[in-house]
């Protein structure tokens, strides 16, 4: 067991989906995995392992924000040997051409966090996705006629802030979320594959939004794309 995960060795697959909401992890396990078994309930951060089309796969909540996902991703990688980590979460659109419920594949993640600068104050280290996972997710999503957006996102430290994020939209940044940059940095740091697949849950441009229940239970396109991305090929 690690400090924050109570799984025994071998109970977590080497590939995992990481929604922020632990109830979304439960939804994925119950609706997509064969014979899912609970491996973690510490602090209510539910984690399950089952099979997707015969392939062992895990899913676990990470909570909200860079500090929270950093803890769980670090332990999954270093204590449990996970090699493929795909975040499946929600984001707010920063552009008029990125609409509610659209799929975004985060090619890279700018951030307001000091997580990288704390380690590398002399460099502006880029947080980028694993190209193999990104390429596979793009082709799977295109095959499903989902027309995914691919590009930069912003991983913000604060949910409520006065950041002029819409100005980043003018520079091509597609959406704002709170975890991808940390996941990408840890992927680079420990030599594993990482990717964030996001569904637009609200728009900072049009002010449209979705309900918490809808975010938890109906954003299934990113779940299918994520599961196929980590299990195929």
Residues with a catalytic annotation lie at 202
114/119 Cα distance (integer angstroms): 9
């Amino acid at each position: 067991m690690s400090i924050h995960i109570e799984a025994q060795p071998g109970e977590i697959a080497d590939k995992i989906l990481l929604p922020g909401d632990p109830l979304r992890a439960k939804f994925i396990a119950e609706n997509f995995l064969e014979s899912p078994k609970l491996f973690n309930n510490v602090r209510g951060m539910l984690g399950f392992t089952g099979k997707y089309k015969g392939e062992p796969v895990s899913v676990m909540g990470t909570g909200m924000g860079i500090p929270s996902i950093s803890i769980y991703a670090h332990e999954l990688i270093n204590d449990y040997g996970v090699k493929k980590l795909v975040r499946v979460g929600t984001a707010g659109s920063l552009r008029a051409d990125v609409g509610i419920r659209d799929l975004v594949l985060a090619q890279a993640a700018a951030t307001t966090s000091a997580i990288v600068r704390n380690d590398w104050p002399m460099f502006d280290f880029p947080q980028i996705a694993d190209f193999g996972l990104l390429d596979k997710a793009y082709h799977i999503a295109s095959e499903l006629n989902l027309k995914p957006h691919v590009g930069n996102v912003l991983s913000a430290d604060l949910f409520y802030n006065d950041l002029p994020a819409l100005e980043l939209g003018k520079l091509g940044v597609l959406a704002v979320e709170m975890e991808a940059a940390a996941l990408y940095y840890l992927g680079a740091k420990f030599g594993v594959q990482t990717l964030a697949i996001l569904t637009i849950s609200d728009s900072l441009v049009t002010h449209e939004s979705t309900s918490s229940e809808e975010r938890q239970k109906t954003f299934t396109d990113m779940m299918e794309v994520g599961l196929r991305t980590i299990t195929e090929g």
